[in-house]
Chain A
Amino acid sequence: KNQVEQSPQSLIILEGKNCTLQCNYTVSPFSNLRWYKQDTGRGPVSLTIMTFSENTKSNGRYTATLDADTKQSSLHITASQLSDSASYICVVSPNTGTASKLTFGTGTRLQVTL
């Protein structure tokens, strides 16, 4: 069964600090991995998209890494801001093109405090 597991479940950090969120997946076949940010009660917003051939992808203060051999990904957030408080969801796609049958993780709930 396709699974995406994320850790930690929740995280509290001080503003300005860095953090790293982890994702392990057992999705097959594998096409690409996406990280989304989801504010409470809102829709997910795309942060990064990586295929199996990409090791790293950055989007501003967000940097995602992917190790397709070990089926692990991480999302690193630098110089955190209060507005980074949200759930961060790892999403794996088995298809090369469409958004059908995306497998979502349960997310890591990040809280950035003063």
Chain B
Amino acid sequence: EPEVTQTPSHQVTQMGQEVILRCVPISNHLYFYWYRQILGQKVEFLVSFYNNEISEKSEIFDDQFSVERPDGSNFTLKIRSTKLEDSAMYFCASQPGQGFQNTIYFGEGSWLTVV
């Protein structure tokens, strides 16, 4: 079964450093998302991406965050200057098309620890 792959699986970074989390969505999917889950808390929406641009974003997704799809394959989340509270599991997800019946596929997550 096709899957969303994410790298790295775990990254430790110092506060203030830039971090790039990478995702390879399922081929031919059109909608891409980043969600995050702080340890012990609910999964939270960050941003959605369609047609090479952000379609929606949450309050969490401030100027420190950015996303891009540089080569039509990878989908990246960049955090410019990490803060301690950015420590979380970051999930990438993709969806083949619009419509509730389209299953959303989540990756295994990238665990980010900011020290």
Contacts and interface: CB of A to CB of B under 8 A. Distances in A.
Contacts of B106: 43-45
Given A49-B100, A99-B33, A99-B93, A42 B45 contact: no
B81 interface: no
B66 interface: no
A100 B48 contact: yes
Contact of A100 (B43, B45, B100): B45
Interface residues of A, number: 25
Given A97-B100, A98-B55, A98-B95, A104 B109 contact: no
A41 B50 CA distance: 27
Nearest to A93: B100
A46 B95 CA distance: 12
B55 A100 contact: yes
A96 interface: yes
A71 B109 CA distance: 30
B103 interface: yes
Chain B's interface size range is: 20 to 34
A99 B109 CA distance: 17
Contacts of A98: 31, 48, 50, 55-56, 95, 98
B45 A101 contact: yes
A93 B104 CA distance: 12
A66 B101 CA distance: 16
Given A31-B100, A97-B100, A98-B55, A104 B44 contact: yes
A91 B102 CA distance: 15
A106 interface: yes
Nearest to B42: A104
A43 B58 contact: no
A51 interface: yes
12 contacts: A31-B100, A43-B4, A44-B43, A44-B91, A96-B100, A97-B99, A98-B50, A98-B98, A99-B104, A100-B45, A100-B48, A101-B45
Interface of A: 31-32, 34, 41-46, 49, 51, 89, 91, 93, 96-102, 104-107
